[in-house]
A = this chain, B = another copy of it.
Amino acid sequence: MALSDRSEMAEFATIRDEVTALKRERTVEAAAQLFYDRGYEKTTLEAVAETMGVTKPFIYNHFKSKAELLADICTRGVSASLVAMEAALAADVTPTEKLRMLSRGFLTAVLSNQRYIAILTREEKSLEPADFERLSVLRRDFDRKLVALLQSGADAGEFHLNDPYVAALSIGGLVSWAYVWYRPEGRLSLEALAEEVSSLILAMAGVRP
Q: Residues of A with Cβ closer than 8 Å to B? A: 37-42, 121-123, 125-126, 162-163, 165-167, 169-170, 172-178, 180-181, 187-188, 193, 196-197, 199-201, 203-206
A169 to B197, CA, bound (A): 10
A-B residue pairs in contact (CB < 8 Å), sample of 16: A38-B125, A39-B41, A39-B123, A40-B41, A41-B41, A121-B121, A122-B125, A162-B199, A167-B200, A172-B177, A173-B173, A173-B180, A201-B204, A203-B203, A203-B205, A203-B206
Q: Given A39-B125, A122-B122, A173–B166 Cβ distance below 8 Å?
A: no
When the two chains form the complex, which single residue of B163, B174, B201, B204 contacts A177, counting CB atoms closer than 8 Å? B174
A17 to B126, CA, bound (A): 38
| A173 near B169: Cβ-Cβ < 8 Å | no
User: In the complex, what's the smallest C-beta–C-beta distance from A108 to chain B, in angstroms?
Assistant: 15
